[in-house]
Amino acid sequence: MADTSPAPNEAAAPLIAVRGVHKHYGPIRAVDGVDLEIRRGELFGLIGHNGAGKSTLFKMMLGLIPATAGEIRIDGTRVGGGTGGEFRAVRRKIGYLPENVVLYDNLTGLETLQLFARLKSVPPTANLHLLERVGLEQAARRRVREYSKGMRQRLGFAQALLGSPKLLFLDEPTTGLDPEAIRGFYAILRQLKSEGVTIVITSHILAEIQERVDRLAIMAAGKVQASGTVQALREQMDLPLWFSVRVAPADFETVRAALGHLPVGAVEARDDHVAVQCRREAKMAVIAALAGLGGTVLDLSVHEPSLEDVFFGFSD
Ligand SMILES: Nc1ncnc2c1ncn2[C@@H]1O[C@H](COP(=O)(O)OP(=O)(O)OP(=O)(O)O)[C@@H](O)[C@H]1O
């Protein structure tokens, strides 16, 4: 029996529900029992080492390869379930930028979009607008052969946006983009998000992901090791925080003495500040002790562990 019935409470239900999904290639467990929920309208990051299983999971969510076991539902419809017709309708509202997008060197940017539009049965009317959106309007009539790596990546992104998808899967979309282009790219994602588009993105550039995603999942060896907001993952890992306390060099010892009774870790004198490591639960007590020093403290900043720290904590 085709099990394509929508979830009972559609609005509250996750847009993507991955339940107990495996993908095995002989002895290789590319994806090894993944459970994951992605909510409507969120920008969701998937991070992991090379070979962690991110692209394989993407391909299964898109219905490009079948799962060995488990079930994926998008908008209540089972990917690859039933006769396939129900998922085809959902698939039409999904845009995909693969890790290595295949482009034809002899076509221009505009012709490339026309070709993809035909393949997707999308009216070709908005193609120039899409090239404009990704910053390629000047190169629309140049052959892809002459495109830089970053320009090819933008063209790949433009094809993913054909047909105004409500869900986007972007596999390492910022590869080859310079810092300005990365900013521009995330500005487009914010705009899409404000239009209600759900976006799932993989990246190896953790500093870039850290500030931009709503939630993320860390994959290692085919499994989701942790998922949540960056802050929730920090708290779950229980990594220490760092304070930078700027004081005159003559006051370094005063700071050390003021913190002496607190459960702080390293207290290190640097050039023009004292670096103090402390556990999260001691944070407010450290702030109170430093406030007690009055004008001795010239400046103060608190540094949360980076996503990179969190990532290595979960994936090593
Ligand atoms: N078609 C395939 N046949 C055999 N093994 C495969 C196949 N596709 C992927 N794998 C293996 O599955 C594992 C996960 O690969 P996958 O491409 O999903 O990783 P990834 O997290 O996307 O890595 P990267 O960050 O390098 O893109 C790897 O060990 C890979 O070699």
What confidence score (pLDDT) does residue 284 get?
Answer: 93
Taking CA atoms only, the protein residue closest to ligand 1 atom 27 is 50
Pick from 18, 54, 223 the residue to mutate for probing ligand 1's pocket: most ligand atoms within 8 Å of its CB. 54
Domain membership of residue 271 (yes or no) is: yes
Residue 9 pLDDT grade (very low, low, confident, very high; cuts 50, 70, 90): low
Distance (Å, rounded) from C-alpha 118 to C-alpha 33? 37
For residue 299, pLDDT over 80 is answered with: yes
Across the chain, what does the average pLDDT equal? 89
219 & 276 share domain: no
> For residue 231, what are the CA distances in angstroms to 73, 210, 220?
28, 10, 20
Report DSSP letters for the chain, one per residue. Answer: ----PPPSSTTTS-SEEEEEEEEEETTEEEEEEEEEEE-TT-EEEEEESTTSSHHHHHHHHTTSS--SEEEEEETTEETT-TTSHHHHHHHTTEEEE-TT----TTSBHHHHHHHHHHHTT--GGGHHHHHHHTT-GGGTTSBGGG--HHHHHHHHHHHHTTT--SEEEEESTTTT--HHHHHHHHHHHHHHHHTT-EEEEE-S-HHHHHTT-SEEEEEETTEEEEEE-HHHHHHHHTPPEEEEEE--GGGHHHHHHHHTTS-EEEEEE-SSEEEEEE-GGGHHHHHHHHHTTGGG--EEEEEPPPHHHHHHHHH-
Domain membership of residue 127 (yes or no) is: no
For residue 11, pLDDT over 70 is answered with: no
19 & 59 share domain: yes
What confidence score (pLDDT) does residue 172 get?
Answer: 92
223 & 257 share domain: no
What confidence score (pLDDT) does residue 1 get?
Answer: 39
What confidence score (pLDDT) does residue 302 get?
Answer: 94
Q: Return the ligand 1 atom nearest residue 26 CA.
A: 4
Taking CA atoms only, the protein residue closest to ligand 1 atom 12 is 30
Q: Return the ligand 1 atom nearest residue 49 CA.
A: 25
Report the percentage of the chain scoring pLDDT > 90. 62
81 & 170 share domain: yes
The pocket around ligand 1, CB under 6 angstroms, is made up of 25, 28, 30, 48, 50-56, 99
Domain membership of residue 135 (yes or no) is: no
Report the percentage of the chain scoring pLDDT > 70. 95
Domain membership of residue 57 (yes or no) is: yes
What is the value of ipTM here, to two decimals? 0.97
Residue 251 is part of a domain; what is its CATH number? 3.30.70.930
88 & 218 share domain: yes
222 & 253 share domain: no
How far, in Å, is the centroid of ligand 1 from the Cα of 218? 16
Q: Return the ligand 1 atom nearest residue 58 CA.
A: 18
pLDDT digits (tens, 9 = 90+) for 241-261: 999 999 998 888 899 899 888
pTM for this prediction: 0.86
170 & 287 share domain: no
210 & 255 share domain: no
How far, in Å, is the centroid of ligand 1 from the Cα of 222? 9
Domain membership of residue 109 (yes or no) is: no
**Mean pLDDT lowest among 19-28, 79-88, 97-106, 161-170:** 79-88
170 & 278 share domain: no
Distance (Å, rounded) from C-alpha 61 to C-alpha 270? 49
78 & 208 share domain: yes
More confident site: 184 or 126: 184
46 & 71 share domain: yes
Amino acid at 199: I
206 & 280 share domain: no
Structure tokens at 86: 């129900």
Residue 5 pLDDT grade (very low, low, confident, very high; cuts 50, 70, 90): very low
Domain membership of residue 42 (yes or no) is: yes
How far, in Å, is the centroid of ligand 1 from the Cα of 25? 10
What confidence score (pLDDT) does residue 126 get?
Answer: 78
Taking CA atoms only, the protein residue closest to ligand 1 atom 17 is 55
How far, in Å, is the centroid of ligand 1 from the Cα of 23? 10
Residue 177 pLDDT grade (very low, low, confident, very high; cuts 50, 70, 90): confident
Pick from 54, 56, 60, 61 the residue to mutate for probing ligand 1's pocket: most ligand atoms within 8 Å of its CB. 56
Q: In total, how many domains does the chain have?
A: 2
Q: Return the ligand 1 atom nearest residue 172 CA.
A: 27
Which structural domain range is residue 264 located in? 236-306
Domain membership of residue 30 (yes or no) is: yes
How far, in Å, is the centroid of ligand 1 from the Cα of 312? 20
**Mean pLDDT lowest among 13-27, 45-59, 175-189:** 175-189
Structure tokens at 272: 């023009």
For residue 12, pLDDT over 80 is answered with: no
Domain membership of residue 264 (yes or no) is: yes
Distance (Å, rounded) from C-alpha 162 to C-alpha 94? 9
